[in-house]
Amino acid sequence: MREIFSHRDLTVLGYYKSILEAEGIAGYIRNEHSQTLGFGFYGMFQRLGFLEPVLCIVADDEFERAIAILSPHRFSDPCDHEEWLCSACKESNPAAFEVCWKCQTAKNE
C-alpha cells in the first residue's frame, strides 16, 4: 500500500481512483468515511491530517506508473481561450461552453 494523493473533496479522489482503475491499478480511499464522524470530532484532528481522505494504491511497484497516469489530470493546463459572445443573444460565455448558457445557441451559429 502506498499513498498517492490527499484531498478534502472525496469526489476528486474518487475521480482519480476511477482513472487508475481504468488503467488496471487497484486502489482505495483511506479515511473515506471520516467526515461522517461529525465536525466536533473531525475538526479536532483535521488540522493534523489524521482523518484526511487519502487515495492509496495497493501495489507499491505501481507507484511511478500511477503518478504518470494522474499527472495530466492533477496538473492540467489552465484554459487559455477567451470567452465568446453569443451571436443570437450577445451574452458572454466561458470558452469551454459549446452552447450559450442563456439561449442554447451553438457556439459557431
Taking domain 2-74, whether its CATH number is 3.40.50 is answered by no
**Structure confidence at residue 89 (pLDDT):** 94
Express each pLDDT in 32-41 by its tens digit. Answer: 876 655 545 5
Q: Where in the chain is the domain with CATH 3.30.70?
A: 2-74
Express each pLDDT in 53-103 by its tens digit. Answer: 899 999 999 999 999 999 888 755 555 568 889 999 999 988 878 899 899
Residue 8 CA to residue 53 CA, distance in Å, equals 6
Please say if the pLDDT value at position 44 is more than 70: no
**Structure confidence at residue 42 (pLDDT):** 47
Residue 109 pLDDT class (50, 70, 90 cuts): low
**Structure confidence at residue 45 (pLDDT):** 52
